[in-house]
Amino acid sequence: MTHNLPRMLLGLLLFVLATSRASPAQTPSEAAFAAQDAAPTAVPEVVANLKLKGPRVLRGIVASWDLLKVQVLDAADKNVPPATVDGIWNDASVIEAWRLLKRLGQADAKRWTDVVTVLAAHPQGAGTVPQAADLARGAGIAQPALDDAKARGESMLRESEAEARRVALRALARSNPEASPVVPQQWKTVTAAEFDANSTAQLDAAREYLARAGGAGAAYQGAFVTLLTEYSEVEEKAFAARLDMDVKGAIELLGESGITPQLAGRVVCIQTRDRVHYRLLLEGALDVDPAAFEFGVTAYPPAGPVVVLPPIQSPTERESYAARLLGRAVLHCFATNARLPAWANEAIPLILADLAVPSAKGDILWRRQGLATIRTGAALSELVNSDYASAAWRANRSRSESAAYLFGRRAFEENRRAFLSWALGVKNGEEPSVAWLKYFRVAPAVSLNASNRWFMTND
């Protein structure tokens, strides 16, 4: 037994050495890292049930998300392979968005700053930002990082609101080119050569617009207007001459302000021969809704203002509508291309048309609806003090135009010089109310109330 002891001790020593090489000793932290490498810890799954605008609902596991949208793996239909579906955060109510974002922040604490940014960028998210910030601080997020996240979201909100306004204006301009946004610029006198070159360019552009609608026409050129007409009757030449005189009269009247409107080239008036060409021209070439303009429209493409007329049987009515639309084009280049307030932007072309074609009796037609509205209790100021985006204009444009004509025509007849000076001042950048007080010596409200009382009993 004693002879075998050294041999047994040697065997035990060899066993310990072999075991030590196979499994080195580990600290607790080393053991944890080893376990993590062997089996990575999965981020907890977050299930979305997010209601969006309309009937849309995002249901499924969140695959990814960023500051603008969330992407969900939709596996609701067992007969269809799972697919990722996107949802915009701002298309959900803030309550719906916050409910999901809270769970996303709790699932990944590093992204609490993104949660704060998304909520600050939501149109109704301001009230939820403090709640998200509290939870973020509890998860170890520093206040400066939260301040930066909030500022980033507020900047995104301002930009999205500005873009929404731009989209709304573009949509409004489609239903009413007079509401189209313009960058105000001063009109300058052009040389005769420049005028002719611009006129050629405007006519070429108009021919292209008409060609896109499947049409073509003959051009009759005057001093101020080029009539591009699909009609071949001899009367069209006489019609073109009358339009030229109507524009001449509009230029002279507005010139009484001390500044004569400066056309950069001849205004093109396109006369279509049928409603099909009229509709196609407005929709396809000028991006204008033809349903909003039964009797013609003035559009403002880059080449210059263009008037488009549908077929109108009565020669007198046709000239009256054309004179009104051409009056818009002249007003566009009166001192600047800036727009007057909506009521004046409507009243002045109507006044110009009535003075040009009194036999059309437009004055009676344009007064009728406004008078009826006032005498049923509506205040003239409610109709006049609105713009093209207001509910009043969008709900009943003809009523607003009638009220605008009533007020504008009365102001024009009572103090023509003040009215034209006011229009020039506003076109040059003066604030409308301040300019009214300057030229009429009374506040706009006083003039409106006086007109309202007048039209209660007078036509």
Query: What is the pLDDT tens value at each position of the chain, 459 positions in all?
Result: 444 434 443 444 334 334 444 444 443 333 333 333 333 334 468 999 999 988 889 888 999 999 999 999 886 666 767 788 899 999 999 999 999 999 999 999 999 999 999 999 999 999 999 999 999 999 999 999 999 999 999 999 999 999 998 888 888 888 889 988 788 899 989 999 999 999 999 999 999 999 999 999 999 999 999 999 999 877 899 999 999 999 999 999 999 999 999 999 999 999 999 999 999 999 988 989 999 899 999 999 888 899 999 999 999 999 999 999 999 999 999 999 999 999 999 999 999 999 999 999 999 999 998 898 888 887 888 877 788 888 888 888 888 899 999 999 999 999 999 999 999 999 999 999 999 999 999 999 999 999 989 998 887
Last residue of a domain, one of 163, 197, 228: 163
Phi, psi of 288 (to 5 degrees): -120, 140
Do 355 and 431 fall within a single domain?
yes
Scan for tokens 């930066």, then name that residue: 148
What is the model's pTM?
Answer: 0.74
Do 236 and 311 fall within a single domain?
yes
User: Is 92 in contact with 51 (CB distance < 8 Å)?
Assistant: yes
Do 312 and 210 fall within a single domain?
yes
d(CA 114, CA 167): 27
Residue 25, in any domain of the structure? no
d(CA 18, CA 114): 53
In terms of residue numbers, what domain contains 281? 174-179+189-330
The tally of domains found in the chain comes to 3
User: Is 216 in contact with 280 (CB distance < 8 Å)?
Assistant: no
